Structures are given as C-alpha cells and as structure tokens.
Amino acid sequence: MRIPMKRRVIVTAAVVVLSLGGASARAQQPAPSLGDSPAALVERARAAYTQGRYHDALATARRAAEAAPRSVLAQLARGGMAEFMGEFDEAAQAYAQAQALAPSDNTTRYRMASFATRVGDYDRALRELDAILATQPKAAQLFFRWAPPFVQKPLLKRSPALEQFVELQIDILMEKGDLAGARRLAHRHAIVEPGRDYCAEANVKKSARGSPDEVFKAFRLAALGQPDSADCIWWYGQWLTDEGYMRLGRLMVEEGTRVTSAASNKESGQRFVRIRLGGARPVSKRAESLFMIATQRYLRDGDVEGAARLFDESVRLSPTFARPYSYKARLALDDGDREAAVQWLRRGVEADPESWRTWHNLGRLLLAAERWDEAGRALARAVELFPDDVGGRLALARALYAVGDWDGYRTHTEYALGFARNLSGKDGVKEPADFLAKFQRWGPGATLPPTPDPRVILGWNRD
C-alpha cells in the first residue's frame, strides 16, 4: 500500500511547516542558538518535522507550549503537529488557546479553518476564512470578490498565499457537498476557464501514468470546470476512493452517476457506492481523517502503537467503516497472529456486509492459511459483489483447485485472464495463464495455481 500524497495533504504539510517555523524565508535559515527557550524549541520542532522525525517534532512542540503557554507561536506549533499526527483533541485545545490569545490573528484563523475542514466542521471553516477576508481594506475585498477572471488569474499567480486561500475555500465547499458553489468560485477566480477540455487533459495524465498529485489536480479541475463530464467526475471519485477520501469520493461518484445518461453507468455507479463506499453507511469526516493519518503513521513511520490507537478511534466514530478493520488485521498479521487477523476481517464484514474489499481480504487470508472451504465462501462472496475482481477470481480458482473442483478452477481463471488482458494486457496474469495452459494440456498436478492480485481498475485498490 502506498501512502497517499495529494495536493491537499501537501498543502496541509506546508501549513504545518509555516506554523512551526514562521515565514518560509526564515525556515531556510539555521535555527538560532537560544538554549531551551520557547523560540528555540519551536525551531527544533520545525527542523524535526522537515527531517521526517514527526514524534520528536510533536514532543518538542509540546515542550514549547508548556514553557510558554501564552505564546501564540508555540501553541500553533503544538496544534499543527498534533493535527498532523491525528491527535485531534490536543490540536483543538492548542488552536483554541492560540485564538484566545490572539483573536484577530489571521494565521491562527487560517489554521482553525484548515483544522475545521479536516474534522468536518465546514461552516466553522468558512466563517474563519470570511473573518480573514473581512480584515482587508474594503477596496481589496471588493476586488477579490468581484474582479473579472482575467484579472484574478495573474493576481493568484503572483500570490501563492492568496491562491492557497481560494483553493481551500473551494475544497471546503466541495467537501460540504456544495459543488455548484465550488464551481462558481473556481470560475470567478479563473481556477478553471470556459472552453478548456479538462477531462481530455486528465485522461492524458492518467494514461501517461503521471504523478498522483498531477492526476489528482487534473481530475479535480475536470470536476470543477466541466459539470457534464460524467466519466471524468466518476474517475475522480474512484481515484479519491483509492486514496482514502471516502466522503469526497462518494460525492463525486454520486455526481458522475447523476450526470450520466447511460442506464448501465447509473447502475454501475450505484453499485460502486454500495460495495466500495459503504452504501447506506456513511463515514464521518473525523473518522476518515483519523484513518488516513493512521495509515501514514503505520506505513510511513512504522508507528504500530499510534496507528492502532487511531484505527480504533476511527472504528469507534464510524463502526460500519470497513477499511480500518483491514488495517487492524494487517497489524495482527505483522504481530504473527493470523487468527486475530481473521477475526478483525470477520468483524469488518459484519460491520459492512457489502464491503467487497473486506471479503476479498478475508478470502485471501484464509487461502494463505489453506482453509480452503472458508476461503472459497469468502472469495465467492467477493466475486459475487464485484464480478471483475481479477485477484479475487484467481484466489477463488486456487481454493477450488485445492478441493478438486477443476471445472470451477477453469471457469474463474478463464474469466479473470480474459478481463485482465482486455483491460491492461497480459503481463500481470502471465503466471496464471501459463499454469492454465499446462492444466489444459496435462490435467491437474500437485502444485497449486498462482494467485497474483494485480491492480487492474482505478478505484478498486489499496485497502
């Protein structure tokens, strides 16, 4: 599994650095030698963060806030690192203390807006941004709100901070579900322009295997700039789903499903929401954010204890959110406890009986344990939910082969190979194809068929 790296994550990280270290020019200078003063501690926290020592950064930011509880800079440092690490209660406390110390400070307002977005308090986030704008001269406010797009575009290019401000407003409106408002804002500030085929540009980047951040930006622009581009909006939702953005992914898939005119596409979109995005079991924003940070703490930092605690909190907030159960199973496997892993996945399918991926993961785990009948039942359910599950079909074929069901083995293998070849070529399924050819020529043998789990379709990976 790869750590999600998207524009919004990168923006958040950049703001954390600014909270820790002040202006960017200052961040390039060596930390002053000030002993253990609060200012020195904030500088050390910034340095630890930029070096990837996130636990040290949080611990040092805490020391700074303890040493100078009335320092806005120290409280913002603590809040920024606590938020980054998923310690949301601590972050809220630090930001609230900073705002009490400096109610009119725009940096603090911006941090509050960003944090409120992360935990799903969208109205609070918009109020904080409005308060920032209200501190500017009336003429500047009118210019920012109503200047024509051809004037706004160079203005935003000259001011990265202003562009980031606008982008956060758009993100908040999108996450809130006000897609029409987000589109109006994007057009007003020339983030998108009339007549440009953003959907075609996004497809080029996807086909060329551009960086995740480039693909994210391209599909986001298509969703904002081309309201009738059902396919691109749909792909954007699927991409977000892979990256862990359950809520915005759901909104985009539902929007693409609404816009499309094809009945088959509408049915496909409804199925995706049902078996991939929780169906009638929505995920809270706070639970989603904790889950994403937990995966980073686990995969990026190797922080098993911290990740487990955040996964548990995510489950507590949204008990029917299936993804954390799969990660808890993986943690158990890392600890050598396969049975505990099986039980976590069983809890996952109890929480969301239509979570295709959880059934898929459960089946493959049982397959690895050579519990053929149990594996076969779980994998049959996965394939029933998502017939184009190549890895699931190959795993089911192995389970059937192991119990002597040769016809079942052949049927599922042929389906998986045909689908994979039509979609992405035969490289990812060469070994199963070679095994099937030998089976058809010589009959069954003692060796079991291989079961790769190739990435075939955007939106059906990573968990």
pLDDT in tens, 442-461: 999 999 999 999 887 777 77
Q: Which residue has the higher pLDDT, 36 or 431?
A: 431
In a domain? residue 328: yes
13 and 127 in a single domain? The answer is yes
296 and 328 in a single domain? The answer is yes
CATH code for the domain in which residue 81 is found: 1.25.40.10
In a domain? residue 404: yes
270 and 290 in a single domain? The answer is no
- pLDDT value for 35: 59
- Domain limits for position 6: 1-135
Q: Pick from 89, 104, 135: which residue ends a domain?
A: 135
Closest CA to 110 of 79, 140, 87, 71: 79
Measured CA to CA, the distance from residue 193 to residue 436 in angstroms comes to 52
Q: Report the interhelical angle of 246-259 vs 160-176 (nearest 10°).
A: 70
261 and 296 in a single domain? The answer is no
305 and 224 in a single domain? The answer is no
Specify the number of domains making up the chain.
3
| 159 pLDDT more than 50 | yes
272 and 291 in a single domain? The answer is no
75 and 218 in a single domain? The answer is no
272 and 310 in a single domain? The answer is no
| 136 pLDDT more than 70 | yes
271 and 297 in a single domain? The answer is no
Closest CA to 72 of 44, 110, 129: 110
pLDDT in tens, 404-425: 999 999 999 999 999 998 877 6
Q: Cα–Cα–Cα angle for 110, 115, 116, nearest 5°?
A: 95
336 and 369 in a single domain? The answer is yes
In a domain? residue 390: yes
Task: State the chain's mean pLDDT as an integer.
Answer: 90
Q: Which residue has the higher pLDDT, 100 or 24?
A: 100
Measured CA to CA, the distance from residue 433 to residue 438 in angstroms comes to 9
322 and 263 in a single domain? The answer is no
Measured CA to CA, the distance from residue 442 to residue 259 in angstroms comes to 51
- pLDDT value for 411: 98
| 27 pLDDT more than 80 | no
- pLDDT value for 426: 64
Measured CA to CA, the distance from residue 297 to residue 89 in angstroms comes to 17
Q: Pick from 276, 296, 327: which residue ends a domain?
A: 276
- Averaged pLDDT for residues 162-172: 93
In a domain? residue 241: yes
- pLDDT value for 144: 86
| 99 pLDDT more than 50 | yes
In a domain? residue 101: yes
Residue 392 · residue 408 · CB < 8 Å: no
From the CB of residue 303, how many other CB atoms can be counted at a distance below 10 Å?
Answer: 18
301 and 391 in a single domain? The answer is yes
- pLDDT value for 57: 97
